[in-house]
Amino acid sequence: NAGVTQTPKFQVLKTGQSMTLQCAQDMNHNSMYWYRQDPGMGLRLIYYSASEGTTDKGEVPNGYNVSRLNKREFSLRLESAAPSQTSVYFCASSSLRIPLTNEQFFGPGTRLTVL
Amino acid sequence: KNEVEQSPQNLTAQEGEFITINCSYSVGISALHWLQQHPGGGIVSLFMLSSGKKKHGRLIATINIQEKHSSLHITASHPRDSAVYICAVTSFGNEKLTFGTGTRLTIIP
C-alpha cells in the first residue's frame, strides 16, 4: 500500500498562474483533508471531504477550490496564485471507523512557491 | 489564545537525555494526537490517546484529562529523534483536528 500520495512534490508559480495539487489514498478512507503549513503556525485546514461527493470549507478556504473526484482522489486547485499562498501543502485521510478519534494519515507534502 | 499550546517551541539536548514536550488544550476533547515531522519529510502519527498513558519503544505519551494536559517523553534520546513534534486534538462532535504549532527537537551527538 502506498498510503497517501501527493503530486507534485515541488512547484514554483508566478502570481496569477493556476495549478492543481493531486492527492490519492489507497486505504479506502472516507474522509480526506487539505492543510497548509506555514512557519510558526500550526497546520491549518483548507478544505475537507467527509465522503465521496461532499466537500466543506475549513479554516482558510479563500483562494482555493477542491474536487473529490472519487473515493480515492481529492484535488486542490489554486485558480490565481498569490504570494500569500506560498506554503507547504499536506493532504491527509482518515477512516473514522473508530468513532471520535480521527487518526489521520498524511501525504509527503507539496512545497509551493509563488513569485 | 490558541486552543492547543505546546512548550517548549524549541528544545536542544544531548544524546541520551530524557526529553519532555508538553501540550495544553482549552477545549473538551475526544482524543489527543502526537505527530512527528522530520526535516523536509512528511507527518506520521505517533500516538492517539484519550486517557492514561501509551508507550511505543522509547516514546511515552501521557494525558491528564482533568488538567487538559499531555506530555510526550523520549527516553535515551538519539540524534534520529530530531524532528518537529506536533500535538493535535479532536473535539467532541467535530471530526477535524486542531493543531499546536509544534516543538522542534534537536538531539546533539
Counting runs of H as helices and runs of E as strands, what totals does chain A give? 0, 11
Q: Do B96 and A48 touch (CB under 8 A)?
A: yes
Cell of B22: 508538553
Cell of A33: 483533508
Could you tell me if B105 and B78 are in contact, meaning their C-beta atoms sit under 8 angstroms apart? no
pLDDT average, residue stretch A20-26? 97
pLDDT band at B1 (very low <50, low <70, confident <90, very high): low
- Identify the bridge partners of residue B14 per DSSP, sorted by sequence position: B108
Residues with Cβ within 8 Å of residue A37, at least 6 apart in sequence:
A43, A44, A87, A88, A89, A90, A109
Check residue B39 and give its pLDDT: 84
Q: Do the strands B103-108 and B83-91 form a parallel or antiparallel pair, or are they unpaired?
A: antiparallel
Residue with cell 514554483: A12
Which residue type occupies B81? D
- SS3 at position A4: strand
- Show residues of chain A in contact with B101, CB under 8 Å: 40-42
pLDDT in tens, B23-63: 999 988 888 999 999 987 789 999 999 899 999 999 999 99
Check residue A99 and give its pLDDT: 52
pLDDT average, residue stretch B56-78? 96
Give the CA diameter of chain A: 43
Alpha carbon distance B63, B96 (integer Å): 20
Could you tell me if A24 and A70 are in contact, meaning their C-beta atoms sit under 8 angstroms apart? no
Check residue A96 and give its pLDDT: 67
pLDDT average, residue stretch A66-95? 95
Residue of B nearest to A97 (CA): B95
Q: Do A101 and B2 touch (CB under 8 A)?
A: no
